[in-house]
Structure 1
Amino acid sequence: MSRDIWDPVTYAVYADERSRPFVELISRVGAVNPDYVVDAGCGSGELTLELAKRWPDATIEGFDSSPAMIIKARQLETSARFAVADVTTWRPDRPMDMIVSNAVLQWVPEHRDVLEHWMEGLAPGGWLAFQVPGNFDAPSHVAIREVCASRTWCDKLGDLTRGNPVGDAVHYLDLLHHGGAQVDAWETTYVHVLQGENPVLDWVSGTALRPMLDRLDPDEQRQFTADLAGPLAEAYPATSYGTPFPFRRIFVVAQK
């Protein structure tokens, strides 16, 4: 995309819910005293700090395609280095002991090729760990596709609707196993309990809706989110304790 569509403030609204999969992902990595660790698609860098805490003697490098996110990351007090780069073209300047990617590859149609490049860039015994959302058939995404395809929005947003861009756990296990890696792949459905008037709309405004909102002017953004608010509230009814929001994620850890 030509412009930086990522807003660190909006994305951080549900930071605790978004950090849990990352922590659980890296907990399954068995790297001991790695020298060079990379966070691909590091966002605003807070989760990169978890890598620095676990491996304090390693060189930690994070990159993201969003300049706004990297500006935010560089404000952190850490020895980690941050750079603006695209996952499809970035290459390490030396063999990596670990590369981790948290909820990024679903945005990359050619991410299977990217995984191949990353595996090639690992040192012998190096680790690749990533997780991606597996909820593209969930009511939230169905509602987004239906509103984008509606008469009001199809001309402006119809081309942004997409099917399921990721595989399941077995798909990635097969892909990386045939590449010679030892692979641990699994799926987890989290049930987040969100608070607020229409919290699922708030959630997707920081992720799935970014390409749509980027294309609309402020008045159109307000109308589009108003059109989506009703279907989302109906799909995810509020309760006395909050709004349950099931979210399936796919995890893969591979050792070269």
Structure 2
Amino acid sequence: MADWNPALYTRFEDERTRPAADLLARVPLDRPALAIDLGCGPGNSTALIAARYPEAEIVGLDTSPAMLDSARARLPHLRFGLADAATWEPERAPDLIYANAVLQWLPDHPTLLPRLFGHLAPGGVLAVQMPDNLAEPTHRLMREVAASGPWAEAIGDPAVAGRLGRMLEPAGYYDLLAPLAAEVDVWRTAYHHRMADAAAIVSWVSATGLRPFLDPLDADQRAGFRAAYESRIDAAYVPRADGRRLLAFPRVFIVARKGL
């Protein structure tokens, strides 16, 4: 895919940062020496970690140079680097691996999550938050529009573009980590974000889930896809009592603590 767009991603920064804060609030650590923000994006989640743990060494890692530039501009006193969560190996064992809204992009979770957990120092914590919205109208309609228009050949299999089959049920993540961990906390919740209109919902997902569908298209195809998709979104998310739309956004949270 093309590089991420930090300006587009941060257009809904308050809404995106809320689950990051909720995840961090459940981390059972008082004074970690080293905290890794894996998939740090533009640094909004890294700023939360720095505020809670001002004495910790904090490193933000991401695959996107544009996102890392944005994070460095926001937090020039912290260290950021280029790394892929799928292959990353720490230089030394961290006390906290914090992965907010990143692991859903990667396959083979039964291998990935235990591997990340194994990198922790004794007593360390793996904290993960992942969008779990592939069955929601936003993502279901992406796949339907992708399969039904003149752009279908360019996009390819909508299930592949839409990352179907990558996520486990919450209980599956518990079963992965419970045999390895001293404590595992798993939960799923749905946020309901107030959006001005259908165009705002399309703008939200354009920065994330819609990217694999739009990236292979030329300018005319992108415009046609977005118009068809926005029309379907407008019908799926009806105006509420105040005229706004409610975007339901389920997310899965995992906090696993390693034994001493």
Bin the TM-score by the shorter chain: over 0.9
Q: Is the 8 A contact 1:88 1:111 kept in 2?
A: no
1:229 aligns with 2:230: yes
1:193 and 1:210 map into 2 onto residues whose CA distance is 22
Q: 219, 228, 252: which one pairs with 1:250?
A: 252
Question: Secondary structure at 2:234's aligned position in 1?
Answer: helix
Q: 61, 64, 72: which one pairs with 2:62?
A: 64
Q: Is the 8 A contact 1:183 1:255 kept in 2?
A: yes
TM (norm. structure 1) is: 0.95
Q: 1:49 maps to what in 2?
A: 47
Q: Is the 8 A contact 1:103 1:133 kept in 2?
A: yes
1:83 and 1:221 map into 2 onto residues whose CA distance is 32
1:161 and 1:33 map into 2 onto residues whose CA distance is 39
1:204 and 1:45 map into 2 onto residues whose CA distance is 19
Q: Is the 8 A contact 1:188 1:249 kept in 2?
A: yes
Q: Cα deviation per residue 1:182-233 (whole Å; 9 max; x = unaligned)?
A: 1000011111111145221111111111122221222221111011011111
Q: 1:189 maps to what in 2?
A: 190
Q: Is the 8 A contact 2:170 2:188 kept in 1?
A: yes
Q: 97, 106, 109: which one pairs with 1:108?
A: 106
CA RMSD of aligned residues (A): 1.4
64-73 vs 164-173, which moves further: 164-173
What amino acid does structure 2 have at the position aligned with 1:252? I
Query: Cα–Cα, structure 1 residues 189 and 158, in superposed 2: closer, same or farther, change >3 Å?
Result: same
2:64 and 2:29 map into 1 onto residues whose CA distance is 28
Query: Cα–Cα, structure 1 residues 247 and 161, in superposed 2: closer, same or farther, change >3 Å?
Result: closer
2:121 and 2:149 map into 1 onto residues whose CA distance is 52
How many residues are treated as equivalent by the alignment?
254
Unaligned residue ranges in structure 2 (runs of 5+): none
Q: 2:132 maps to what in 1?
A: 134
* Structure 1: 4+ residue segments shifted above 6 A: none
Could you tell me how far 1:46 is from its partner in structure 2?
Answer: 2.0
What amino acid does structure 1 have at the position aligned with 2:108? E
1:120 aligns with 2:118: yes
Unaligned residue ranges in structure 1 (runs of 5+): none
2:182 and 2:64 map into 1 onto residues whose CA distance is 31
Question: Secondary structure at 2:164's aligned position in 1?
Answer: coil
Q: Is the 8 A contact 2:62 2:81 kept in 1?
A: yes
Q: How is 1:1-256 mapped onto 2 (pairs within 5 angstroms)?
A: 1=1, 3-4=2-3, 6-159=4-157, 160-196=161-197, 198-239=199-240, 240-256=242-258
1:55 and 1:78 map into 2 onto residues whose CA distance is 16
Percentage identity across aligned positions?
42
1:166 and 1:23 map into 2 onto residues whose CA distance is 22
What amino acid does structure 1 have at the position aligned with 2:184? V
1:192 and 1:30 map into 2 onto residues whose CA distance is 28
Q: Cα deviation per residue 1:86-128 (whole Å; 9 max; x = unaligned)?
A: 1111111001100111111110012332222211110110000
Question: Secondary structure at 1:252's aligned position in 2?
Answer: strand
Query: Cα–Cα, structure 1 residues 36 and 206, in superposed 2: closer, same or farther, change >3 Å?
Result: same
TM (norm. structure 2) is: 0.93
Could you tell me how far 1:40 is from its partner in structure 2?
Answer: 0.3
